[in-house]
Structure 1
Amino acid sequence: MSEFTIRFPNEQKKRFVQPISAGALLAYMPNIDKTVYGMKVNNELVALSKTIDIRASVEPVLKGTQEGSKIYRRTLCLLLAAASQALYPEPRLLVGHSLGYSYYYTLEGNNTEKIDFKKIEEKMRELVEADIPIQTRWLSYEEAIEMFQNSNQPDTYKLLSYISKPKILINKLGDFHDLFFQPVMDRTGEVKVFELMPYGEGFLLRFPSTAEPDKLPVFDDIPQLFTVYKEYKQWGKLVGVSAVGQLNTIIEKRKTKDYVEIIETMQNNKLAKIAGQIEEKKTVKLVLIAGPSSSGKTTTAKKLSMQLRVLGFDPHIISLDDFYLGSAKTPIGEDGKPDYECLEAIDVPLINEILLKLFNGEMVELPSYNFKTGEREYRGKTLQCNERSIVIMEGIHGLNDKTTAEIDPNLKFKIYLSALTQLNLDDHNRIPTSDNRLLRRIVRDAQFRSTAASKTIEMWENVRSGEAKYIFPYQGNADAMFNTALDYELSVLKIYAEPLLRTVKPTDPSYSEASRLLMFLNNFLSISPSFVPGQSILREFIGDSDFSYR
């Protein structure tokens, strides 16, 4: 065996002549004062059980970090699946969407009303107390297929049938096996902070936040969002596509065109229903649209405008981005950089002044923000409203009442957007809405802003931080919620995103996330963008939209 060198975070190097596990390297990092959940090896995220036998730079993944939290939550999900299987082997455990700091689960099958969630939680705590090793091992493709064919995980089996690899990586916890997607902790003993809470027709698996990893946060219910998810999930079951393996079957059987048309029609119908709600209220003069990054605010505003025209209204779209104060007046954030996402970065008095004049029938000149110069400009764009006019204003602060504080609440209708896919990867692995949005943004930034995937990934944590401060707290203010996710979109985004993600090299700090996204996209068969309608929300990100964006 040839020698290899490991470089540690303090820049010290050590030679090794035998392979060594990532966990064993912790002995050479004595100054770590937090629990270690995993390791980055040449910027690749690995489990502590991973064997290292090449030259590498290593960095521990700690408790209280974003990547550490993801490892903790994956391990917690594995623990839940193992406990549920041990106590109730017949009902099928299915993961759903996230709800605050929790995941929604259901158990499906006969006699599920007799299931005691507290017993499952007690079993999980027994597994934690026993500090059982979690193994990661390879199986041949045939072994893996046979294992999951005979398990109570049909979506896992179906997904596996589209992963054409000679060997498959799985996680093993005692007698329980599950498909491996990303690293988990190497033992159960540190997964101590969690709770199962009955909710809806199932229960919530609650976990701590990244900022406070030693306690559960106060539960903040969002029933309107849960209703939207539940409705989409029921629809997915109705058409027989609620997991990626089923989507792949649609693609394989060349039924893509019909499926895409059904998905788009359903989304358009939902938007038409919201337009109907606006009409029914009768007093609406201002529609406010807000949502996190890459949720499709701009296209949704344009599509809603068309629906309102059908109802005889005269809609006009205004972007909150055009009310930025400008680079020189933008507040400085805690990191010493301009904070373009805070409310104070936009000209709130001007927004209210213009809206009041419009609703009074006056002619106004609208500003435009020049992102190249960082200055607000006036280009002769004017607007005057009539009695059938409705202003559609889209932007991240749309649902914050401070943005339009001078406007009569009876004149407002607020819409919150979320890219809430109802698809799962398989029985026990969900698709985070943030992955949908990040892939949309990577593709859009490359297409229209010449931004490399590594740069978009690097900025993403700050984007998410801004969303947590300025968007998510106000979603409960919405009069309606609109789901912009399209269940087929990841199969289209895959075509654009994969070559972009492959440009991220192992020496780049963004490599870990790029590698994860590539592994994630590997589960999807591709769909040609030619199937995507010109007015689809997806066109905002991949291009060739029937709409003009500037």
Structure 2
Amino acid sequence: MSDRGKNQITFIKPRDEVEVHLPDGRVLQGKRNTPVGDFLKALPEWDNPLIVGAIVNHELRELTYPITIESKVTPLTMTSADGARIYRRSLTFLLEAAFEEIFPDAVLTVDHSVTSGGYYCQVGGRDPLTEGELERLESRMRELVEQDLPFERLTVPLKEAIQYFESKGHQDKVSLLRYRHRDTLVLYQLGSHRDYHHGYMVPSTGYLRWFGLRAMDEGFILQYPRRHAPKELLPLPDFSILLKTFKQYGAWLANLGIDSVGALNDAISTNRIREIILVSEALHEQKIAEIAREIVRRADQSRIILIAGPSSSGKTTFAKRLSVQLLAYGLSPFALEMDNYFVDREFTPRDENGDYDFEALEALDIRRLEHDLTRLIQGEEVQLPRFDFREGKSFPGEVVRLEKDQLVILEGIHGLNPRLLPNLPTERTFRIYVSCLTQLNLDRHNRISTTDTRLLRRIVRDARERGYSAQETIGRWESVRRGEKNYIFPYQENADEIFNSALVYELSALKPLAEPLLRQVPYGTPEYIEAKRLLAFIEWFLPLNMDLIPDNSILREFVGGSILREFKIWRKPV
């Protein structure tokens, strides 16, 4: 008897129905070619929180994606990273359409995000919007939401897309698309408004129920919900220092003539990139020198320099370059390592999952830290602790005494938290926030996330220094981000100075190093979807010759070859 006879395998016609298998074991059945969103609308929790996308057989899909075969489907709500991106991207497109309808001769630019949930937007070609005009714009957006109009997805020849954007005067989009390697482009359409967006959208305007417009400075904020509260808009905090930093960086980009990725690609293809690199690095050095001058001015009173910022911001290189500038002024800073002030492992707090929470403030012996700092700046001899990470215990470390007027540099995630040194007067400290505050965008409507830039930096550094795969780094990133949101971002505005470590050319430099690492992430893993998204993102950039990067650049901390790697300030033994 043949094997076919034993297994009773025969040819059949496809059934009219297909099954959708959910992660919790539930199974939905429906007609073949039904959009995945129609399946998911059958779930009682469809709107709580709102489902905006899906993972179908290990691939990220829009809710309009048709189910043609039996599939494993994971719903994506606004509480997930990909779901939040889909919602915010769609909301930006809604804003574009309403803005173009009401202000056809003005230019809308979506600049950067704000921590409470929102994008800072600017208006060009006319005066800033009045309160009445802003209310009219928001009202029109809400009318479009009530009408529940579809976002039509169109795949058009690339030449046709370029001609369309040329006719609209969108030169930034035209410049970007000239370097696209594919022959087609996906456009979305709402009414007469068309645009491309780097990623997927919700099916229609009716999904976009949670948003607001608020005047800010000379622009306005497009508010959206944060992931932990998907149906709420959080109050807008004061972010005047951050806004000033973003505007300064925008002015730098204007001086360089690089206002979008298309312009950056033009500079690379015409061999003007060396000038861009040199000026970008000079602007960094100029800002570090300005911060050093301010520290020197306040040195009699502010003896402790606190440096904080999120992961992969370049804090280590910044601290060393700042030390070099201070040495040039005749000041010899003493670097105190906050990691040596961890409490013994048995006293380390745990998170909601029962795991050690090393990023919590309570993981540090802040009482001893404050005590040691107070004695150091008083000129007393102090025996510092030394934390053994393998044993999870603190041991006696070196004995030190500061020289007269010597400064202390303390780098760590809690540097701006007032609870770190609760009894030390704030005027005794100088607080610096370091972050990669990218403002260079793909174009005026497709912004580049600062988080994406930092993640690419970390993927490259982790592979080179720690032997981690891109999959491992991506897998840890959500936990890293959670710590930043809890312990760093709420205290940004406590800074005396902000250093923007972004470099206009860096994604072109990171591309050739990050691409092969991202391509190694295995298909079918949770990290594969993120790796695929990042690959599609860096595809927009022309690669850059690594040899052009100066050896003291912030970027060298991640790509390797930093002259500052072994830099240490010599001091006399006690």
Q: Same fold (TM over 0.5)?
A: yes
Distance 2:400 2:319 in 1: 17
Instruction: Give the match's secondary structure for 1:294.
Output: coil
In the alignment, is residue 73 of structure 1 matched against residue 91 of structure 2?
no
Aligned mate of 1:440, from 442, 457, 477? 457
One-letter code aligned to 1:318:
L
- Cα deviation, residue 109, structure 1: 1.0
Distance 1:42 1:324 in 2: 44
Q: Is the 2:128–2:218 contact (alpha carbons within 8 Å) kept by the matching residues of 1? A: no
Q: Is the 1:292–1:418 contact (alpha carbons within 8 Å) kept by the matching residues of 2? A: yes
- Cα deviation, residue 408, structure 1: 3.7
Instruction: Give the match's secondary structure for 1:60.
Output: strand
In the alignment, is residue 502 of structure 1 matched against residue 519 of structure 2?
yes
Map 1:34-45; keep pairs closer than 5 Å.
34=48, 35-45=50-60
Return 11-20 or 437-446, whichever deviates more.
Answer: 11-20
The equivalent residue for 1:470 is 487
Return 264-273 or 493-502, whichever deviates more.
Answer: 493-502
The equivalent residue for 1:355 is 373
Q: Percent identity?
A: 39
In the alignment, is residue 539 of structure 1 matched against residue 556 of structure 2?
yes
The equivalent residue for 1:93 is 108
The equivalent residue for 2:74 is 59
Aligned mate of 2:119, from 88, 103, 114? 103
- The 1:544–1:373 alpha-carbon spacing in structure 2 relative to 1, beyond 3 Å, is farther
- Cα deviation, residue 12, structure 1: 5.4
For 1:52-106, what per-residue CA distance to the aligned partner results, in whole angstroms no more than 9, with x for missing partners? 4456421111233333222211111000000011111121111111122111111
- The 1:528–1:370 alpha-carbon spacing in structure 2 relative to 1, beyond 3 Å, is farther
One-letter code aligned to 1:452:
S
Map 1:206-221; keep pairs closer than 5 Å.
206-221=223-238
Aligned mate of 2:266, from 237, 249, 252? 249
Return 335-344 or 396-405, whichever deviates more.
Answer: 396-405
Q: Is the 2:28–2:39 contact (alpha carbons within 8 Å) kept by the matching residues of 1? A: no
Q: Is the 1:290–1:397 contact (alpha carbons within 8 Å) kept by the matching residues of 2? A: yes
In the alignment, is residue 530 of structure 1 matched against residue 544 of structure 2?
no
One-letter code aligned to 1:89:
P
Distance 2:38 2:129 in 1: 46
For 1:222-248, what per-residue CA distance to the aligned partner results, in whole angstroms no more than 9, with x for missing partners? 101100100110121122112111111
Distance 1:134 1:535 in 2: 47
- Cα deviation, residue 372, structure 1: 4.2
Q: Is the 1:42–1:506 contact (alpha carbons within 8 Å) kept by the matching residues of 2? A: no
Distance 2:452 2:520 in 1: 19
- Cα deviation, residue 297, structure 1: 1.4
One-letter code aligned to 1:130:
Q
Could you tell me the TM-score, scaled by structure 2's length? 0.91
Higher Rg of the two aligned structures: 2
One-letter code aligned to 1:361:
G
The equivalent residue for 1:336 is 354
The equivalent residue for 2:286 is 269
Distance 1:50 1:260 in 2: 43
Which stretches in structure 1 are left out of the alignment for 5+ residues? Answer: none
In the alignment, is residue 123 of structure 1 matched against residue 123 of structure 2?
no
Aligned mate of 2:421, from 404, 427, 430? 404
The equivalent residue for 2:247 is 230
The equivalent residue for 1:25 is 39
Instruction: Give the match's secondary structure for 1:189.
Output: helix
The equivalent residue for 1:162 is 179
Q: Is the 2:256–2:276 contact (alpha carbons within 8 Å) kept by the matching residues of 1? A: no
- The 1:113–1:191 alpha-carbon spacing in structure 2 relative to 1, beyond 3 Å, is closer
Which stretches in structure 2 are left out of the alignment for 5+ residues? Answer: 1-12, 569-574
Distance 1:368 1:435 in 2: 34
Aligned mate of 1:292, from 310, 333, 344? 310
The equivalent residue for 2:216 is 199
> How many residue pairs get matched?
549
In the alignment, is residue 184 of structure 1 matched against residue 197 of structure 2?
no
- Cα deviation, residue 5, structure 1: 6.5
Instruction: Give the match's secondary structure for 1:389.
Output: coil
The equivalent residue for 1:393 is 410
The equivalent residue for 2:431 is 414
In the alignment, is residue 175 of structure 1 matched against residue 192 of structure 2?
yes
The equivalent residue for 2:340 is 322
- The 1:8–1:410 alpha-carbon spacing in structure 2 relative to 1, beyond 3 Å, is closer
Aligned mate of 2:505, from 454, 468, 488? 488
- Cα deviation, residue 458, structure 1: 2.0
- Cα deviation, residue 377, structure 1: 4.6
- The 1:76–1:27 alpha-carbon spacing in structure 2 relative to 1, beyond 3 Å, is closer
- Cα deviation, residue 376, structure 1: 3.7
Return 165-174 or 339-348, whichever deviates more.
Answer: 165-174
Distance 2:57 2:169 in 1: 37
Q: Is the 1:154–1:427 contact (alpha carbons within 8 Å) kept by the matching residues of 2? A: no
Distance 1:147 1:36 in 2: 33
One-letter code aligned to 1:42:
N
Q: Is the 1:197–1:205 contact (alpha carbons within 8 Å) kept by the matching residues of 2? A: yes
Instruction: Give the match's secondary structure for 1:150.
Output: helix
For 1:224-278, what per-residue CA distance to the aligned partner results, in whole angstroms no more than 9, with x for missing partners? 1100100110121122112111111111111222211110110111011011111
One-letter code aligned to 1:103:
Y
Distance 2:127 2:285 in 1: 38
In the alignment, is residue 47 of structure 1 matched against residue 65 of structure 2?
no
The alignment's C-alpha RMSD in Å is 2.2
- The 1:353–1:27 alpha-carbon spacing in structure 2 relative to 1, beyond 3 Å, is closer
Distance 1:97 1:208 in 2: 16
Q: Is the 2:123–2:129 contact (alpha carbons within 8 Å) kept by the matching residues of 1? A: no
- The 1:21–1:243 alpha-carbon spacing in structure 2 relative to 1, beyond 3 Å, is same
One-letter code aligned to 1:21:
P
- The 1:294–1:402 alpha-carbon spacing in structure 2 relative to 1, beyond 3 Å, is same
Distance 2:318 2:386 in 1: 20
One-letter code aligned to 1:46:
R
- The 1:145–1:24 alpha-carbon spacing in structure 2 relative to 1, beyond 3 Å, is same
Q: Is the 2:32–2:69 contact (alpha carbons within 8 Å) kept by the matching residues of 1? A: no
Instruction: Give the match's secondary structure for 2:168.
Output: coil
- The 1:61–1:473 alpha-carbon spacing in structure 2 relative to 1, beyond 3 Å, is same
Q: Is the 1:90–1:152 contact (alpha carbons within 8 Å) kept by the matching residues of 2? A: no
- The 1:8–1:98 alpha-carbon spacing in structure 2 relative to 1, beyond 3 Å, is same
One-letter code aligned to 1:63:
M
One-letter code aligned to 2:534:
L
Return 354-363 or 417-426, whichever deviates more.
Answer: 354-363
One-letter code aligned to 1:105:
C
One-letter code aligned to 1:59:
T
- Cα deviation, residue 350, structure 1: 2.1
- Cα deviation, residue 284, structure 1: 2.1
Q: Is the 2:312–2:458 contact (alpha carbons within 8 Å) kept by the matching residues of 1? A: yes
For 1:98-118, what per-residue CA distance to the aligned partner results, in whole angstroms no more than 9, with x for missing partners? 122111111111466679222
Return 261-270 or 409-418, whichever deviates more.
Answer: 409-418
